[in-house]
Chains A and B, each alone.
Chain A
């Protein structure tokens, strides 16, 4: 039986179909209810077809229709297609339809804008872009394009679901390849989804249907780590004009070294002699490496220039020597050249940078990563050097590249290695301070703060800032303290010890709130956590605390002469599997208190059911941090 409303909609569609061009299948009314749940948009169908006809020829054809329910999903109606000399957009067409599937707009290739993709100094990458302004909701965008490229080193991946708040009605992915090529694949998180894969000679197909939208939640693993996906690679490929062949990481690394690295290690004679004589008196190889790392940090700066294969092949060491700048590849390569000159072996490492801890996928031998660092094995130690930053301590690059798989490139081949893992307690911040409270509630304070591990990263940005900016930064850092006037700021990047040191003194009016006879004093002045993860009524995703940390505050408080303590919070101990919190207040003399705050947050992965417990732990911390002491006039 057809419901009345459905009937009237069908009738309307019927009317429209007579008068104007339309596409019945694209009517927004045909989206099943379960795919509307939590969805700002739904992919009605996606057909991604990749046809690799030879090692250096690949055609990518995509047809996709997305129905957009509200303005949060408007981004999906904008189309951006990257291209450069070796990647050519053969055709692109876009149609927009209203809720009934009636065509509202048609866009041709000439309507697109062509932009430079340059983020740094220069890149030859460009993109075609079209942005659409919706007039009604829901609406549907359909587009199809054909791209030809010789860059077979990157086979587009299959992520049927590629963002939060989007569901998928149907998604098909086909990859065809020549018989002389071996396919490498990595299939992840298919369980629990309606996904079929068919493999035949020279062809692989994935098909997914009815995939529900996922709502974003705080403290989760990264999206790409839990949604279904397939990543492919091929045994023979071409990278910006350079042919390559590899069946395993060893072969891939060897190809990379021979084609993209070997010829760039050309340090000029003068510099070679200079670095040798500068390090001649240093015995310990680690100390030598440290010296060279600092030499590079003092000499160069990061500038990105990406042209053709230069997007993958480092700029020559001689050019970096001459210009004193380069991108991550160039600077890594330069450091490697210098180290090699003094007899220290080091290897370029391809890696994904960023706090998300994304690893090189070891199942698919292929060009991966978005960054390069230097791997240095010395005296049974594995060191990782970040060569683009002038403030990073030696072998201590924090959350930018910690705890993940990287591919190291040696003359003999490639190998997957895991980068440095920071223990929760290594991510340390220590505050030693004192504040004097006046009879009016004003405080004058002295704070010394030292940060290391990934906590170092939070403060590194302060180095080199002007006093005016620092003044602003610290007033924001201590947003629990109002009416601050800072009279001393000393920041020091103690790179040598991997510590960031800050030394401040300031005064602040009305810190203690005077009410009648009493003064209320929030005892913990220098480290107040006010963030609680928000309440989620029906948690669906697992909990992941990516990094832990350990913060300790030891602070002396001098109380005002006219007051005595009326009431004091008791010492607090919160012990949970997610971390430990301790607040201890000791009376040192008649009007002197000492408080110690210790907060250890542990990294970890927990099932979704534990989100509530974790949240309640954090709520307790927030509450404890606000603990107050009540003073009363003597």
Chain B
């Protein structure tokens, strides 16, 4: 009886492990038979299993190397999932210096042929190595015999002499059925750890015993020459962080988001301290103060701020020209913009160094903005660098140096903080390029103290159009439009049109504005950044009003009408990210033709979102042969939580409905 029970238990056990055997090569028939992903039928492919283990391996003569082993099993459901059959593994292989090594093993395609599991091996000669650039190389391969329903599997190992730990990424554009990772770090190394994304992740931390066996060889003279080897053993703890998670959903892109990677569930590691037994700890960044201290000591950051001899003559001239602090800030910003052009490279460290960047007139972000700090300080302004992570670089939620990739400038005063970025031709104090508007920046002060500043701009991006036109009896519209863009709206306008000739601008506006014909065009302040950009033009539109029967129908805001709701999807998971708060104001005056009288007008409307997040006001009135309309859309925050998605979608639905509503005139 006992025996039977045992067999049954064993059977049960076998049953369980049979249905989900994640050992390499043990692909089951059931897995191959699956036609669609059970919880996400629209998935083109899925990770059936993804396991990653990173550990430190002590090697004599080399010390610790970081080894990452990955095992992936991928199911292909549809033809669109075929691109998952091609794998690229990037690794660091500089022209000079130590190189990471990659080895790929057990790569096979599994398919169900006549009810039997068949596998096809990836040939060695079908793995390609490609030198991407001076620093990085790739190994690439694509699996043989891909069909809908097949399963791919491989293992690979990256061995690195560097102590960085690759991000632990837990979410991809396809779902994952079973995910496991284990990061095992000897007690000598401490890492700052941060988690991003929207998945609940449970990290289980444990300790385990590890040891290293050393062998010491020495030559000894003892009646002949011997090599004597002595052995010693070092015991230490290894900290293990394990994650196990089933059924991770795919990461889906949505409109109005920050960079998608900022929503991807993952864990980032940054080396903070190395402490060997019997020696003092070597600190890398750990607190924001440490980050500040580390970077201020760096010759390509803090060190640069001391070397300002080459700016002397220019600074004398600037200080003679500008007297008030505001003047000095504007003046210094424009001065640096004119002296050093951005070479499109980001970076918190200087590339050329301030002197060379000045001489050549070209530099990266640090070259430019550290020059601005230096100039402002020489002018007696309390300016400091601000470390930033740009939108496509992720959100730095914990003290990190490697997580920051950009530097701007802050001027702190009792009146508030002014942020500057001289890399962008059309930027202004507190009107920064969108790439910078990402969470918060870290001010690194001269006295080595640290401050934080919110980067999501509170400066309202504003557009205001004043339209006045008259309609003739045959529906021809003739009128004038004056459009004003302020702050971020002005920045984008200038970026878009700043370098175009007038003809090209007119032709673009004509095309974008419902094919009106522009007769007279004037653009003001395109280069005078202290003022809003203003475009003013006379226009004509044949059959701008529609005549049906004895009535005339007018869409009062003409080409300024918001006629499409940008929010189309039904539900949303990520915040709606406009970058900055914004408003759009449209004022219209219409003169109705002699032979017609007013039949009906749209009604006034006023809508507000909860917590004053946004509002829409529309008012219309008629006086004699004139109709006046004012429409105002306001969004008071640059980033709006996904909880308000339905509300904002609904508000835009009403905006579209109201703005497309017609005024009806009737023939007298």
A623 and B510 contact, CB distance less than 8 A: no
User: How distant is B598 from chain A, measured CB to nearest CB, in Å?
Assistant: 11
B570 and A485 contact, CB distance less than 8 A: yes
B514-569 contacts to A, CB under 8 A, are 515, 517, 543, 546, 548-551, 553, 563-565, 568-569
User: How distant is B652 from chain A, measured CB to nearest CB, in Å?
Assistant: 9
- B82 sits at the interface (CB 8 A): yes
Task: Using known A-B contacts A121-B86, A464-B44, A623-B543, determine if residue A324 contacts B144 with beta carbons closer than 8 Å.
Answer: yes
B553 and A628 contact, CB distance less than 8 A: yes
Contacts of A469 in B (CB 8 A): 42
Contacts of B656 in A (CB 8 A): 482-483, 510
User: How distant is B434 from chain A, measured CB to nearest CB, in Å?
Assistant: 19
Contacts of A322 in B (CB 8 A): 144-145
- A379 sits at the interface (CB 8 A): no
**Bitwise interface map of A from 514 to 537 toward B, beta carbon under 8 Å scored 1, else 0:** 111110100000000000101100
Contacts of B80 in A (CB 8 A): 464-466
User: How far, in whole Å, are A104 and B341 apart by their CA atoms in the complex?
Assistant: 14
Interface residue from B44, B82, B343, B570 paired with A466 (Cβ < 8 Å): B44
User: Chain B: residues with CB nearer than 8 A to chain A?
Assistant: 41-44, 78-80, 82, 85-86, 126, 128, 130-134, 140-142, 144-147, 252, 341-344, 360-362, 499, 507, 510-511, 515, 517, 543, 546, 548-551, 553, 563-565, 568-570, 600-602, 653, 656-657, 660-664
A122 and B130 contact, CB distance less than 8 A: yes
A133 and B343 contact, CB distance less than 8 A: yes
Contacts of B86 in A (CB 8 A): 121, 303
- A118 sits at the interface (CB 8 A): yes
A515 and B600 contact, CB distance less than 8 A: yes
Q: Sort A-B residue pairs by CB-CB distance and give the 9 closest, nearest first.
A: A466-B42, A567-B549, A135-B361, A516-B600, A122-B128, A133-B343, A323-B144, A464-B80, A324-B145
**Bitwise interface map of A from 102 to 128 toward B, beta carbon under 8 Å scored 1, else 0:** 001100000001111010011000000
User: Chain A: residues with CB nearer than 8 A to chain B?
Assistant: 70-72, 104-105, 113-116, 118, 121-122, 131, 133-136, 298-299, 301, 303, 305, 322-325, 390, 464-469, 471-472, 475-476, 479, 482-485, 509-510, 513-518, 520, 532, 534-535, 566-569, 619, 622-623, 626, 628-630
Interface residue from B131, B546, B653 paired with A483 (Cβ < 8 Å): B653
Contacts of A619 in B (CB 8 A): 515
Interface residue from A121, A301, A520, A534 paired with B128 (Cβ < 8 Å): A121
Task: Using known A-B contacts A114-B133, A464-B80, A483-B565, determine if residue A121 contacts B142 with beta carbons closer than 8 Å.
Answer: yes
Task: Using known A-B contacts A510-B657, A534-B511, determine if residue A133 contacts B146 with beta carbons closer than 8 Å.
Answer: no
Contacts of A516 in B (CB 8 A): 600-601, 664
Residue of B whose beta carbon sits closest to that of A537? B503
Contacts of A510 in B (CB 8 A): 653, 656-657
A513 and B662 contact, CB distance less than 8 A: yes
User: How distant is A72 from chain B, measured CB to nearest CB, in Å?
Assistant: 7
Residue of B whose beta carbon sits closest to that of A133? B343
Contacts of B568 in A (CB 8 A): 472, 475-476, 484
Central interface residue in B146, B341, B563, by most chain A CB within 10 Å: B146
B131 and A116 contact, CB distance less than 8 A: yes
A325 and B144 contact, CB distance less than 8 A: yes
Contacts of A483 in B (CB 8 A): 565, 653, 656
Contacts of A520 in B (CB 8 A): 553, 662
A301 and B553 contact, CB distance less than 8 A: no
Interface residue from B130, B564, B653, B664 paired with A509 (Cβ < 8 Å): B653
User: How far, in whole Å, are A45 and B587 apart by their CA atoms in the complex?
Assistant: 54
User: How distant is A315 from chain B, measured CB to nearest CB, in Å?
Assistant: 11
Contacts of A476 in B (CB 8 A): 568
Count of CB-CB pairs between chains A and B under 8 Å:
141
Interface residue from A133, A298, A514, A629 paired with B341 (Cβ < 8 Å): A133
Contacts of A70 in B (CB 8 A): 499
Task: Using known A-B contacts A72-B499, A510-B653, determine if residue A472 contacts B565 with beta carbons closer than 8 Å.
Answer: no
Residue of A whose beta carbon sits closest to that of B550? A567
B499 and A105 contact, CB distance less than 8 A: no
B565 and A468 contact, CB distance less than 8 A: no
Central interface residue in B344, B499, B515, B660, by most chain A CB within 10 Å: B515
Contacts of A468 in B (CB 8 A): 42, 252, 569
Residue of A whose beta carbon sits closest to that of B516? A535
Contacts of A622 in B (CB 8 A): 515
User: How distant is A107 from chain B, measured CB to nearest CB, in Å?
Assistant: 12
User: How far, in whole Å, are A71 and B341 apart by their CA atoms in the complex?
Assistant: 13
User: How far, in whole Å, are A482 and B660 apart by their CA atoms in the complex?
Assistant: 11
User: How far, in whole Å, are A468 and B573 apart by their CA atoms in the complex?
Assistant: 14
A566 and B142 contact, CB distance less than 8 A: no
User: How far, in whole Å, are A102 and B78 apart by their CA atoms in the complex?
Assistant: 60
B600 and A518 contact, CB distance less than 8 A: yes
Contacts of B569 in A (CB 8 A): 468, 471-472
Contacts of B134 in A (CB 8 A): 113-114
B570 and A323 contact, CB distance less than 8 A: no
Contacts of B42 in A (CB 8 A): 466-469
Contacts of A323 in B (CB 8 A): 126, 144-145
Contacts of B344 in A (CB 8 A): 131, 133
Contacts of A466 in B (CB 8 A): 42-44, 80
B507 and A534 contact, CB distance less than 8 A: yes
B79 and A535 contact, CB distance less than 8 A: no
Residue of A whose beta carbon sits closest to that of B602? A515
User: How far, in whole Å, are A192 and B550 apart by their CA atoms in the complex?
Assistant: 56
Interface residue from A122, A482, A514, A532 paired with B653 (Cβ < 8 Å): A482
User: How distant is A172 from chain B, measured CB to nearest CB, in Å?
Assistant: 31
Interface residue from B132, B147, B507, B661 paired with A513 (Cβ < 8 Å): B661
User: How far, in whole Å, are A303 and B85 apart by their CA atoms in the complex?
Assistant: 10
Residue of B whose beta carbon sits closest to that of A121? B142
User: How distant is A217 from chain B, measured CB to nearest CB, in Å?
Assistant: 11
Interface residue from A72, A482, A534, A629 paired with B564 (Cβ < 8 Å): A482
User: How far, in whole Å, are A218 and B85 apart by their CA atoms in the complex?
Assistant: 41
A532 and B515 contact, CB distance less than 8 A: yes
B142 and A515 contact, CB distance less than 8 A: no
Contacts of A568 in B (CB 8 A): 548
Contacts of A464 in B (CB 8 A): 44, 78-80
B549 and A630 contact, CB distance less than 8 A: yes
User: How far, in whole Å, are A136 and B425 apart by their CA atoms in the complex?
Assistant: 13
Contacts of B343 in A (CB 8 A): 133
Contacts of B252 in A (CB 8 A): 468
User: How far, in whole Å, are A465 and B656 apart by their CA atoms in the complex?
Assistant: 29
User: How distant is B124 from chain A, measured CB to nearest CB, in Å?
Assistant: 14
Contacts of B79 in A (CB 8 A): 301, 390, 464
Contacts of A134 in B (CB 8 A): 341
A513 and B657 contact, CB distance less than 8 A: yes
Contacts of A118 in B (CB 8 A): 130
Task: Using known A-B contacts A115-B133, A323-B144, A466-B43, determine if residue A517 contacts B600 with beta carbons closer than 8 Å.
Answer: yes
Residue of A whose beta carbon sits closest to that of B339? A135
B510 and A535 contact, CB distance less than 8 A: yes
User: How far, in whole Å, are A93 and B660 apart by their CA atoms in the complex?
Assistant: 59
User: How distant is A147 from chain B, measured CB to nearest CB, in Å?
Assistant: 20
A630 and B653 contact, CB distance less than 8 A: no
Residue of B whose beta carbon sits closest to that of A129? B133
A116 and B130 contact, CB distance less than 8 A: yes
A479 and B564 contact, CB distance less than 8 A: yes
Contacts of A113 in B (CB 8 A): 133-134
User: How far, in whole Å, are A70 and B500 apart by their CA atoms in the complex?
Assistant: 9
User: How distant is B380 from chain A, measured CB to nearest CB, in Å?
Assistant: 28
Central interface residue in A114, A131, A324, A619, by most chain B CB within 10 Å: A324
User: How far, in whole Å, are A73 and B499 apart by their CA atoms in the complex?
Assistant: 11
Interface residue from A116, A133, A471 paired with B342 (Cβ < 8 Å): A133
Residue of A whose beta carbon sits closest to that of B657? A510
User: How far, in whole Å, are A393 and B601 apart by their CA atoms in the complex?
Assistant: 54
Residue of A whose beta carbon sits closest to that of B361? A135
User: How far, in whole Å, are A72 and B44 apart by their CA atoms in the complex?
Assistant: 40
Interface residue from A298, A303, A465, A629 paired with B142 (Cβ < 8 Å): A303
User: How far, in whole Å, are A468 and B344 apart by their CA atoms in the complex?
Assistant: 36
A122 and B140 contact, CB distance less than 8 A: yes
Q: Can you identify 17 A-B contacts, CB atoms within 8 angstroms?
A: A113-B134, A135-B341, A135-B361, A299-B147, A301-B85, A322-B144, A325-B142, A325-B146, A464-B44, A466-B42, A468-B42, A468-B569, A510-B656, A515-B600, A516-B664, A568-B548, A630-B548
